[in-house]
Structure 1
Amino acid sequence: MKSNSSNQIKKFFSEIHFSRNDVWDFALILVGALIQAAAMSLFLVPADLVSGGISGLAQLIHHYTEFPIGLMVFLGNIPLFILGWKHLGGPRFAIRTVVSIIAFSAFTDLLMLFLPRGGVTDDPVLNTIYGGLLLGVGLGIVYRGRGTSGGSDILGRILNFRFHLTISHAYLITDSLVVLAAGFVFGWTKALYGLVLIYVSGLAAELALEGTNVVRSAMIVTTQTDAITQAIMKDLERGVTILEGTGGYTGEPRDVVYCVVSRMDVPRLKTLVHENDPHAFMVIGQAQEALGEGFTPLKVDHH
């Protein structure tokens, strides 16, 4: 038994190889954890606003015991980390999770020692908006460093694995239960503000993780393939791909022009298509990210 444990530890450390990218990831995780801790210390804790997860439970316990929130977050994540070990993606992901949890816990307790206990404002709306924004931005930066905040993230993955719940539904269940408990402790008005805070932080996390570089993808069914293709390449300076399609009703072959453009290019794209084929059928969708020539360079992730 002792030999097996020793072998597992050796295997764990043998799989860890740090690179320059890893250093950058850990820097992002530390910065993100600091921003999250600032949100807790400046807005959430002074205003009795709970965002769910282990940190939310820690706030509820702190309300009655004055036990340090950061320390409770750390202790509360230990059993979840043990349960979720097999589903965390290997040693590198596990290390990032540990760093994130320890940093957030330590920063939270340190900042609460030096920052005003009353926070920045006593306005619940401002605390909700700015607390949610800071919390979400910090979480998004942690995600950019390929880390996780622990707590709901780990529990959500466990629920997804064990009960086949979607990650979003798992988060909804875990966070809603904590906010429900906050309603009994802090009152239902603050619990409702907490729901708004969760929504705001989710939007901010997505923005911090993916940036504002949301692009549009267009599929154009046309009989004037050459004219539209040349117009897009010349006027918009965007590449196109010609797909072969078949009309479901007529059974006739149809070309489908596929291209990716920026949001600012969409009005001009519509004009070009109309000018060259007024009877064309076009679908414009939102793409989270475009990688390659003309957009963000495509980089290889060696991890």
Structure 2
Amino acid sequence: MRFSRKSVQDYALVLLGTLIQALALRLFLIPATLVSGGVSGAAQIINFFTGWPIGLMVFVGNVPLFVLGWRYLGGVRFALRTAAAIASFSFLTDLLVVFLPAGGVTDDLFLNSIYGGVVLGIGLGIVYRGKGTSGGSDILGRILNHRLGISISQSYMITDTLVVLLGGIAFDWEHALYGVVVIYVSGLAAEMASEGGNIYRTAMIITALPQEVTQRVLTVLERGVTLLEATGGYTGEQRPVLYCVVTRSEVNQLKELVREADPNAFMVIGQANEALGEGFRPLEKV
């Protein structure tokens, strides 16, 4: 198999992401007995009772899921990145025992849940940027989605909730509640790390004066505008809908420009996680 420069970058991101995830476990979650869900959470519970290496159990637990979920992992390249993520995360989780203090950084449950969630989420997001997944819940979610029609988000909720409940039984319910905080915070951090913090705004404008509004947006904001042909459901009249993408800081200026051009315009503002192309992040650099 030939590896392009982009493939090497992707694998480097996967390895970096799994290292950060392993650090989150060893510095914050494992010392505080905080379960974050998924196979790693189940491995923490088993380790608590048996002393078996967590990384090894993560690897063993992911092997059957990976085999079952191979066809749902989005192609060979995507599956190979996931395999690399599982293997490196498992290895690093056990390797870091030698270099990191067993008691972690702090004894405070709240600090461990917040910082553990943030660091874990950043690691997950970087793995996603490398076009891989962390295995475990990701694979199981895809299997449940294809076999039973359960949405992937619901699959995550089911599997993570089950593991957290088991953590409450194994440790105590205070730790289980903080485990929910870890899951929530890590999800936010993963989204931020994988998609970036540049949240853009999309605007759809229905106006009787499309040319005037378009001209103002083009000349003042220097943003592109697309005219979409539409038909009014009540009037049956043909009227263009203007579509444009702006940054958060430009939203109020856009509203004012539309108001000045047509005070009777109808405007809907939405949110986009990423904008690629002219005027934003160049598509060829993605």
Residue 284 of structure 2 aligns with an amino acid whose one-letter code is K
Paired amino acid for 1:217? T
What is residue 29 of structure 1 aligned with on the other side?
A: 14
Question: In the alignment, which residue of structure 2 is the partner of 1:276?
Answer: 261
Amino acid at match of 1:147: G
Shift of 1:90: 2.7
Q: Partner of 2:130 in structure 1?
A: 145
Q: Does 1:293 align with 2:278?
A: yes
Deviation at 1:251, TM superposition (A): 2.4
* TM-score, normalised via structure 1 length: 0.92
Instruction: Return the alpha-carbon distance in structure 1 between the equivalents of residues 105 and 250 of structure 2.
Output: 42
What is the count of residue pairs matched by the alignment?
A: 286
Distance (whole Å) between structure 2 residues aligned to residue 53 and residue 116 of structure 1:
24
Asked if residue 191 in structure 1 is aligned to residue 176 in structure 2, the reply is yes
Q: Is 1:249 aligned to residue 234 of structure 2? A: yes
Task: Report deviation, 1:300.
Answer: 8.9
Point out the more displaced range, 191-200 or 75-84.
75-84
The answer for the alignment partner of 2:82 in structure 1 is: 97
Map Cα deviations across residues 11-63 of structure 1 (whole Å, 9 max, x no partner).
xxxxx331111100010000000000000000000001001111001100111
The answer to whether 1:117 aligns with 2:102 is yes
Is 1:59 equivalent to 2:44 in the alignment?
yes
The share of aligned pairs that are identical, in percent, is 65
| Matching of residue 49 in structure 1 with residue 60 in structure 2 | no
- Letter paired with 2:80: I
1:12 corresponds in structure 2 to: none
Matched, 1:226 2:226: no
Amino acid at match of 1:51: S
Alignment partners' CA distance in 2, 1:71 and 1:99: 14
Between the aligned partners of 2:276 and 2:180, the Cα distance in structure 1 is 35
Partner of 2:154: 169
1:21 maps to a residue whose letter is K
Do residues 128 (structure 1) and 116 (structure 2) align? Answer: no
State the match for 2:195 in structure 1. Answer: 210
Deviation, 1:250, is: 2.2
Pair 1:84 & 2:74 matched: no
Secondary structure at the residue paired with 1:67?
Answer: coil
- Measured after TM superposition, the shift of residue 131 of structure 1 is 0.2
2:185 aligned partner: 200
* Residue 180 of structure 1 pairs with residue 157 of structure 2: no
Counterpart amino acid of residue 181 in structure 1: L
In the alignment, the residues of structure 2 paired with residue 245 and residue 26 of structure 1 have an alpha-carbon distance, to the nearest angstrom, of 45
Whole-angstrom distance in 1 between the partners of 2:162 and 2:71: 25
**How much has 1:173 moved relative to structure 2?**
0.7
Cα distance in 2 for partners of 1:250, 1:77 equals: 57
Using a 3 Å threshold, how does the CA distance of structure 1 residues 90 and 258 change in structure 2: closer, same or farther? closer
CA RMSD of aligned residues (A): 1.2
Give 2:141's aligned amino acid.
G
SS of the residue 2:203 aligns to: strand
Residues 1:72 and 2:57 aligned together = yes
The amino acid that maps onto 1:54 is V
Q: Secondary structure at the match of 2:240?
A: strand
Output the CA distance in 1 between the equivalents of 2:238 and 2:65.
Answer: 55
- Aligned AA (2:268): V
Distance in 2, matches of 1:278 and 1:57, equals 58
Separation in 2 of the partners of 1:250 and 1:163?
43
Q: Following TM superposition, by how much is the alpha carbon of 1:253 offset from its aligned partner in structure 2, in angstroms?
A: 2.6
| Code of the aligned partner of 2:217 | I
Unaligned segments of structure 1, at least 5 residues: 1-15
Match of 2:141 in 1: 156
**Equivalent residue letter for 2:214:** T
Q: Aligned letter for 1:81?
A: F
Give, as a single letter, the amino acid of the residue that structure 1 aligns with 2:158: I
Deviates more, 1:33-42 or 1:87-96: 87-96
TM-score normalised to structure 2 length = 0.97
CA–CA distance in structure 1, aligned partners of residues 283 and 183 of structure 2: 32
